[in-house]
Structures are given as structure tokens and as C-alpha cells.
A = this chain, B = another copy of it.
Amino acid sequence: MTENFNKYGASFFVDEAHFEELFLLLKSVTLKKNNFFLKSGEKCKYLGFVESGTMRSYYINENGIEKNFDFYFDRNFFTDYESILCNTKSNLNIQALEETKILLLNKEDLQKLYLKEAYWQEFGRVMAERIFLNAKKRIEDLLYYSPERRYTNLLKEAPLVFEKIPQKLIASYLGITPQSLSRIRNRITH
């Protein structure tokens, strides 16, 4: 278990004393490429953690256009937090972009942890805070900057994205069409 703690502890934000209690609740699952962790219309029942691979969440609008909400890489959490918290049907799809190993924490198990002791409430608070900070960054990006600037920001801050993610999905993540992203790239490099 110490081995597992060394492997995951830092990414889970738990100390060694509490690690095992959490780790024993996790189920390991492997998703094949394009398989789903969550489909629109379902209630989200799990907190997910990427062990290896890549996931994406996206929304399909009324015209059938996919809007990429986010990408998730190694050692990061993903879920539809809104669906979990509000116990509502999700409007997101969450899908593996390649063969992806994930760890699942059942929502009820998480809530049982919360009831056990202050430590887990704190764990939940810190996790919610981190998720919020990510969301705030995304708002700033969308609100403050032009599409072109969002592209150059992403290039600088997450170059990994451009190695692992098809360009049309990146375009959607940036809030533009694939054609526009192609033209922005052309504009910048020439």
C-alpha cells in the first residue's frame, strides 16, 4: 500500500494515514477508445481519476454540434460534479480518447467518507476548491481573451494538448470551429 501511496498519494491530495481508506474504495476500470464513462441523460455516479490515458467531456447542443468542455490527462480527476452534487441527469458526455485506465470512487462511498471524520470533509473542501480554481481559469480565458489569444495561451500553458488531442476537438474547446483554428494557426506561423 505504501507503494500505491507513492504512486498516487500526491495526486489524490490525501496523507499516508488516510490513503489506504480511500484507495480500498476505488475500482479500477479500463475504457477502450471512444467508450464512455458517462452519457448525457444519465446521472453521474462516480468520481473518476485518470491513471493513464486521456478523457474528454463534451456537450451536444440543439443543432447536434459537439462542444468540448474539458480534457483530462494522467493523474487528474474528472466527473460531472454538478450531476453528482445536485443529483441531476448530466448533459455531458465523458469519453475515453484512447485506451484509458481509470479509478472509480462511488459517489455514495465518497459521501460516507464525508460523514466519518473532519479529515474527509476537508478533503472534499480542498477538492471542490481546486475544481473551482480550474473553472475560474477557464472563465477568465473565455471572457478576457480573443480566440486567437486563447489558442496561443493554450500552446504556452498546455502544449501536451496539441500532441494528444485532434485539432477539431481543441477548436471546440477554444469555442471556435475547426476551420477557424486552422486559419489562426496559418495566420500565426506565416
Taking Cβ atoms with an 8 Å cutoff, the residues of A that contact B are 59, 61, 67, 69, 81-82, 85-86, 114, 117-118, 121-122, 124-125, 128-129, 131-133, 135-136, 138-140, 142-144, 175
Are A140 and B81 closer than 8 Å at their CB atoms? no
Judge whether A138 and B139 touch: CB under 8 Å: yes
Asked if B118 and A67 sit within 8 Å, CB to CB, the answer is: no
Interface core residue of A122, A129, A175 (most chain B CB under 10 Å): A129
Is A144's CB under 8 angstroms from B67's CB? yes
Q: 25 A-B residue contacts at CB 8 Å?
A: A61-B144, A67-B143, A67-B144, A69-B139, A81-B129, A81-B133, A81-B136, A82-B133, A82-B136, A85-B129, A85-B133, A122-B124, A122-B125, A124-B125, A125-B125, A128-B128, A128-B129, A132-B132, A132-B135, A135-B135, A135-B136, A135-B139, A138-B139, A139-B142, A142-B175
Q: CA–CA, A141 to B33, complex, Å? A: 29
CA distance A142 to B61 in the complex (A): 13
Protomer copies: 2
Distance of A65 from chain B, by nearest CB (Å):
9
Question: Is B142's CB under 8 angstroms from A132's CB?
Answer: no
**A132→B126 CA distance, assembly (Å):** 12
A140 to B61, CA, bound (A): 11
CA distance A61 to B140 in the complex (A): 11
Please indicate the chain B residues that have their CB under 8 angstroms from the CB of A59 in the complex: 140, 144
Candidate in A81, A133, A135, A143 with the most chain B CB atoms within 10 angstroms? A143
